[in-house]
Each structure stands twice: as C-alpha cells, then as structure tokens.
Structure 1
C-alpha cells in the first residue's frame, strides 16, 4: 500500500506537482508551464511500435523498431524532467517520496486535457531509478472534474460479484476462452468467495438489462473481454461536420453479428448502474481524442465509476492474456 502519493495536475496551461505522505496535508510545488513535450511523430512512432510492428516484424521494420526502442529512455527522461526537475520543490518531493523505496509511492496524473492524458507516462525514466512504472506502487490517470454522483450503495461483503462480458462476433476471432481462462485461473484460489456471471447473449440490450436489474448495488466489477476501437470520425453529437473522435466497444447481437456501440451511448446506460470498477480488456478503450471524455474509460468515470482499467493502444491476444483481473 502506498505511503507516499505524488499527483501531477493540469490547471489551465500550468502543471503542478503535489506530494502527500500518509495522512499529512498535501504539499504543492510551484506551477510550471505546460507545453506538449513531443512532436506528433513521437506519439505516432510509439503507436506504430506497440500496435503494428508485431504484425509484420520483417524487412526494414526491425531496424525501425530498434531505433524507436532506443528513444524510450530519452522520451521518459523528458517527462521526468518536466514534472520532477522543473522546480526545487519538485526535486525534493520526488526524493522524499521515494526515499523508502519506489514501491511505497504511487503517481497520479490529474487532467481533463486529452493531450496530457495521452502522454506515455508509463515511460517515465530517472537516470538513477531507470523506468519508474514497474517499480512504483501504482500509476493512474484521473479526471480533474467529474459530475457529483450519488454515493455508491453498500455492496455485498460475503462475495465478490463479477459480470464478465465476452463478445467474439468476427469469423477469424481469437478463441472464446483465450482471455477468460487466465482470469479464471487467477480467481481459482478465491472461487468460493467469487460469484462470476458470464453475460449471454453479449448484446448491448442484455448488458443494459442486467445492470438495470441490479442497479441498487450488486456487481463489484464488470470485466469486458471484447474488441474496442477509437473512431476518429465519430462526433460528440453525431454531427460528422464536427467530428472529434470517440471510443467504441463491440458487442454481439443475437445473430452473432458485431454491434458497435459508442462511448457516449454506453455511458448514458451506466448513469445509474452504480458499478464501482470496470476492467476493459479491449483495444484503445483508453485512447482519448481531441475532446474531453472521448475514450470509453473516461466516459465510464464521468458516468460514476470509481475506477477503470483500460488500454490506450491495440494489443495482440498474447499480451491481452496478461491484461486480466488478478491479484497482481
């Protein structure tokens, strides 16, 4: 459990670092100007490396991939210097927060600005501690402004209730149990305390019905095992002339056909569902567009979820096996 908490917040066009130790009152470093630290090509290269390279690791692509890998350290150090080296207090906060070990410290990024949320914070690199993300107690992104919601009702304490939504509508899809099996294995030691329901059929209508039936407080976690995408042509108000992009999830109709549902539409159905945690094992479910709250993950948070685990990129099935509900 983290004893030290570092939080990076964006206020207008200014970044501010704060540090809280235990139950002490948070301390704040002076604000610094936020100018996007990377050219668009940097984020495009990173997305190519994570999403496309493994699909065709031949020809000149391996050389390109190696060149990108060699830039990770520099990109991560740029982010580190931005938040921890821009002020004397920032340097002091990081040193004191991690004095007893990185594993006692968690780092949060608080913003509604997609440019900030989309930065590859997981690459944070310190010359002394190297890449920070694997060593920290935790790293998360949170929204600066959320609607005031009714308090989450008391949830059952005698068992953990999980709704598992699996959709495989495409002909050449990965196996039905490719992701589910590793999750079930992880839960096996706790099986007598876990109530796991697999939604059948995995349609959006059935999903709405199931959550509305238990809206007074039943499910602790909803776990999606399905395809996700980010549609750059989707407008907030379905106005293609003002398209800003929006996240989508793929459900499955009664006929086994793909049913693509936008983040806005899903969020509208979750307004009163009162589920605290969502695990989105779905590609690009955390990718933000040009507008605020355009990803599936941020729409869920905006609708009242307490926490969402999601992906900013597309990943292959082998990697998705490890992106599961577990005790790690």
Structure 2
C-alpha cells in the first residue's frame, strides 16, 4: 500500500490526518485503507523472511530491524541487536505487529529503528546514549501557537507529569522540569542552568511543518501565543548539542515526514536518538502515545527503541480516536511515531529491567470545568512570565473563573513555576481591613516554610514575595464594593503596584491574579493589569 502510487500515499495521509477531523462518516474509504495496510504488512513480512538466511531461527526471538539511509547490498536482518542495514522503505513499523507473522516464524517481539549518519558530531565521542542509572531526568517544553485550533498545550506535559507522580515513591523517582515559556531561548536557558548532559530526555511538544522546501518546528517568539519562530534542525541541533542532550522526543506533526525529515536531520546534527512523527498526530493518539511511552521509559525501565515499540503496540490495541463530532472512529496510526538513531552507535539493549509498577492507561482525566480553557491558560502563563506579573481574570457568573484559578495554582505549584499560593476569596468574608489580609498572607507564608525568616509585616511580606515566586490570588474582587471601604481597595492597589515595580526591575518575584465578574475599571486602570476574559466553551478535547 504505502509503496504504491502517489494516490496510495494520499490515502494513508487522509486516514491518519483527516478521517477523524474532517470526514468521520467516510467509513467505507477508511475500511479499504485498513485492508490495504493489512495486505502491505503481510507483503513486507514476506519480503523480510526471504532475505533472512534462517527465517525459522527468529521464532520466539526478539527481532531488531535496523534501517539505514544507505543501501549496503547485503540486505540481512539478524536476531537481537546486530542487524545490518537494509534499504529504508516506508512504514517498516508495520513489522512490529507480530500477530501478522506466520506462526512458524513468529518472533516474540519486533523493534524497528531507523539510522542515519551523524554528520555533525564531536570526534572521539562513542558512548551509547543511555538513561540515568538512578533518577531519569526529563525536560519538557510546550509551544502551541494556534490556541484552540491546536493541540492543548498541556496535553503532553500533564500526561508526563502524571506518570512521573505515579512513581514518586520509587527509590529513585524520575524528575520532570518544564521550560517556560515555549521559546527556543527558554529551552537554551533551562538547559544552561543545569550541568552539561543533566537531562536524559528533552521532550518538545511543539507544532511541526514540512513542505517541499524545508521542515521546521514552531516555537513561541517573545512569548506571544500567536507569534511563532520557525526553527530549523541545524539551529535546534546546535542548542541541544551544546548542552549535551542525547535523546529527544518530539510529538511535532510531520517532524519525520518523508521529504525534509526534521527528525533525521536532528540526528545528523549530533543528537544520537530522536523520535518524531511522520504525520499529524491526533489528540487522543497523543495522550495514548505519551502515557505508554513514558510508562515504558520510566516505569518499565525500557530503552527508547523498546519503549517506542511498546507505545506503538498500545496505539494498535487502542485504535479508537475521537472526531470533531464527539464520536469515535478507528484509525490505524500506530506507524506514525518513528525513531532515528545515529549509525555509529551500537543497538541499545532491548531487555526490560526488573518488574516495574504499572501505570494506568488513562494517566490524567481532564476536569470538565476546564475543557476549552487551554488557550487562556497558555496566554496567562506566557504573559505573566514575559510582560507583567499582574493579571485580571474576568467572566460572567458560572464561567469557571475560580475553578480555573484554583487549577492554575495547583498546576503551577506541581510543575515548579511557583512555590505556593496566597489566596483570599472576598466573597467568603464580611468586613475586612488591609491589615487582616496582610496577617492572613503572613500566616500562609509561615505555614509553607519556604525559608526560615519570620514574615510578620507588610514590608517583610513584600521582600519575601519579591525573592520567591508565589501566586497571590485575590478571588471575587468584585465583592469589595459592597463589603469593604475604599481604603481597602487603595491598599490592594498600592501593594500590587509595589510588587509590580520590583518585579519589573529584577524579573523575579511573585505573580498577582485578580478574579472578578467584571474588569473593575479603577483597579485595572491603576495597576495596568493584563485582562484575560473567559468566553463560553467552544470545543471538546478529542
């Protein structure tokens, strides 16, 4: 099928990218494509069996198929990890469907790895890229520049986080750090703040583009969600190589396209192992892929090639994908993720180490009240980190303002953006004076025990909030008009402007978020806080 005429390639692309999103009712066409994939898999297996010297020897064995950019002429496949190279055709990952192999030759497992020459690599460096012996360290970056028309910007990072959290009781729990905002400069800065080679995996949850002329990844520029910076492989490769990165995972659409393959180019730039996507990746598939890939890497202690094969097996086993009509269709997209590695490295050991704990298939369930809020969360995060530490979250009653603010507080604390939240809900209080709020915040700071200093005054509170990054949350600020004197509003404005001035000068310190049904004209005007309006929900997470 995929090695036939161009219309066959078009059919495959349609099945993976457009069936669920544009034409979910064209089931007849999808079924024909599924039959063609099955036939293609059988033909490919027969081709492999013909070039094997002793095909019966692979029965019950682990077979590694290593594919090179170069045709060697010998065209041999061998068991375990010493397979020589054969010409790379499309969709070799179909070989991993062991159920399609004839029973008399059926291997225990098949792992497909594509290799390419490493053209930009420091001489003398020959060690195999492996994960840490103890705690595996992951650096993730998410850049989704197209708002609600893109993959939700936390779909991948929150799934990795949930897998990491499920393993926190291990002797050597994995570590996740998120680079914010989603710019190439943030990636460079976060990598540079740790020793060279500190991270075992760099995961780039970004948008990819490939055409007849080039392949690029889209990062945020100036942290503006709608401004993009197109980065080519040589640019990204230089940043990663300078910091000793040896393993990259990209769920970027078309990052491993047939023409202008960004994934292969990144390996050629000196990154030993890179995982990319041949086609656009559906949201449902992205969550399954991320969960099972990190379950393999972190919970099962698998090598990246073995974890990739494990993740593809889960995509085959769970082919149901949600459509834009809130229905489901069957999509065979398990061959979408492909792994490239540098030719000079020996094949990794594919054995599983120990009996690691299992991770739930659905690692994270999205709160119903947060559906459709990903773009607002991305706007808030980027604007807070780049432009101003004051923000205003507005919306009609029942729009989910407080729920979103509470979720942001949890997510930012869980992923290390803030060290804690100082929260007051004015709808829950009667009369209040500013000194009462200061005392409440001081008490909350002492309970968090961030440092040993006694925070017992407004000035010490300001100094503490300047030194550490908290989220200071003024909820239901619209209730002030009926329950508080004007002096309280003046004090809040003065406090906020002081913290903003110090933040602007040092670019460190706490964030302030006001939550209100309306924009509170005087408060917004005096503090120049950014406004983040909550609109009605417009989409489902698919």
Report the TM-score when normalising by structure 2. 0.44
**How much does 1:221 deviate?**
0.7
Work out whether 1:264 is the aligned partner of 2:240: no
Does 2:147 correspond to 1:171? yes
Assess, with a 3 A threshold, how the Cα gap between structure 1 residues 303 and 212 changes in structure 2: closer, same or farther.
farther
1: CA distance, partners of 2:23 / 2:256: 26
Structure 1 gap ranges (5+):
1-35, 235-245
Moved more, 256-265 or 143-152: 143-152
Higher relative contact order (CA 8 A, sep 6+): 1
Distance, in Å, in 2 between the alignment partners of 1:120 and 1:155 is 27
Aligned to 2:295, the other structure's residue is in SS state coil
Task: Give the C-alpha shift of residue 159 in structure 1.
Answer: 2.7
Normalising by the residue count of structure 1, what TM-score does the alignment of the two structures yield? 0.71
Instruction: Report deviation, 1:275.
Output: 0.9
1:111-122 equivalent positions in 2, closer than 5 A: 111=69, 117=88, 119-122=90-93
1:213-232 CA-to-partner distances (Å, cap 9, x unmatched) read 54622111101112112132
User: Contact 1:107 / 1:136 at 8 angstroms: preserved in 2?
Assistant: no
Q: 2:66·2:113 contact (CA, 8 Å) conserved in 1?
A: yes
**Does residue 247 in structure 1 map to residue 218 in structure 2?**
no
- How far apart are residue 127 of structure 1 and its match? 5.1
SS at match of 2:219: strand
CA distance in 2, matches of 1:273, 1:154: 16
C-alpha separation in 2, matches of 1:264 and 1:120? 26
* Partner in structure 2 of residue 95 of structure 1: 56
Is structure 2 residue 57 aligned with structure 1 residue 105? no
Change (3 A) 1:301 1:79: same
Structure 2: stretches of 5+ with no match in the other structure: 72-85, 297-542
Contact residue 277 and residue 306 of structure 1 kept, 8 A: yes
Alignment of 1:74-89 (within 5 A): 74-85=39-50, 87=51
Q: Which stretch of structure 1 is more off in the superposition, 265-274 or 146-155?
A: 146-155
* Contact persistence 1:281–1:323 (CA under 8 A): no
CA distance 1:121–1:159, change in 2 (3 Å): same
Deviations along 1:215-265, whole A, 9 cap, x unmatched?
Answer: 622111101112112132x3xxxxxxxxxxx32211112222222222232
Measure how far apart 1:208 and its partner are: 2.6
Decide which of 170, 195, 212 is 2:175's aligned counterpart: 195
Match of 2:111 in 1: 138
Q: Which moved more, 1:211-220 or 1:269-278?
A: 211-220
Pairing partner for 2:34 from 69, 79, 100: 69
The structure in which a higher percent of residues are helix is: 2
Conservation of the 8 A alpha-carbon contact between 2:249 and 2:274: yes
- SS of 2:155's partner is coil
Aligned equivalents of 1:142 and 1:75: distance in 2?
Answer: 22
1:107 Cα deviation after fit: 1.9
SS state of the match for residue 313, structure 1? Answer: coil
Q: Deviation per CA, 1:163-194, whole angstroms, max 9, x where unpaired? A: 11011222313433222222222222333622
Contact 1:286 / 1:310 at 8 angstroms: preserved in 2? yes
Report the alpha carbon displacement of residue 211 of structure 1 after superposing the two structures with TM: 3.1
- Counterpart pick for 1:295 among 238, 257, 261: 261
> For the structure 1 residues 137 and 261, does the alpha-carbon distance in structure 2 shift closer, same or farther, using more than 3 Å as the test?
same
Query: Whose radius of gyration is greater, 1 or 2?
Result: 2
| Cα distance, 1:198 vs structure 2 | 0.7
